[in-house]
Every structure is written in structure tokens, then in C-alpha cells.
Amino acid sequence: MSKEPITEEFFINKLAAAKVHFERALDCKHTEFDDLYPYMIEHPQFFWYKRYVAWSELLTIVNLCQELDFNWESQFSGHQVEYVNERVMSAKVLDYWFEKNDSKEHAQR
């Protein structure tokens, strides 16, 4: 495994991956988390925990981008930037992360 230089592009790629992970968790789709904890699927709180883990990952990478003055906001819509800046995974985030839940983009993720 070669070491990739720590650049803005590296962080933005990690941020994009974390965003997809969070969005898949929102949609209750398969993520790496399912492979790590397959027994959790049997428990109703699993999906909440899975979303919390993905949200925490996203916020951690955003925080690093902010500290390094990397332009993370361009990866998100305006209202998503607001949600990330508020840092709380509220019902508003869960319900309105996608502009339109019936959009093609949303359905293909």
C-alpha cells in the first residue's frame, strides 16, 4: 500500500465518500457498517446507530477540512451546509437532507 499525500484533493475525496456513506445510511441501504456488525440488523435501534456513526464520520472529516481551510462546502447543497454547520443530526436532517426524496439522484444511490 502506497502512502497518498495529504492534500486538499485527498480530503475532498474522503469527504465525498463519507457523504455517500451517510446518504446510504439515511436510505437504510447497505454500507460497510453492515459488514462489521451483521448481528445488529436484528435490532430496531440498528438503523439509528448506523446513521449516527455515518453522521459522526461526516462531521469529523468536515471539521478537519475546516481546520485546514479546505473548501468542503462545494460538496453540499446550501441547506446541507446549514445542517452540517448545526452539527446535530435532527429530524430535519433525516427528513430533508435530500431536496426531493423522489428525485432520480436519490433513487440511484
> In whole angstroms, what is the distance from residue 51 CA to residue 24 CA?
9
**47, part of any domain:** yes
| Conformational region of residue 31, where left means phi above 0, alpha means psi within -120 to 50, and beta covers everything else | beta
pLDDT tens sequence across 79-94: 999 999 999 999 999 9
Select the more confidently predicted residue: 72 or 41: 72
**2, part of any domain:** no
Q: Say yes or no to pLDDT of 103 above 50.
A: no
Could you tell me the pTM of the whole model? Answer: 0.81
13-35 in b/e burial notation, b at 16+ Cβ within 10 A? eebeebbebbbbbbeeeebebee
**Which pLDDT belongs to residue 2?**
67
**1, part of any domain:** no
**51, part of any domain:** yes
**87, part of any domain:** yes
Total domain count for the chain?
Answer: 1
**3, part of any domain:** no
Select the more confidently predicted residue: 7 or 45: 7
Closest listed residue to residue 24, CA positions, set 49, 54, 68:
54
**Which pLDDT belongs to residue 25?**
92
Domain span at residue 39 reads: 8-108
**77, part of any domain:** yes
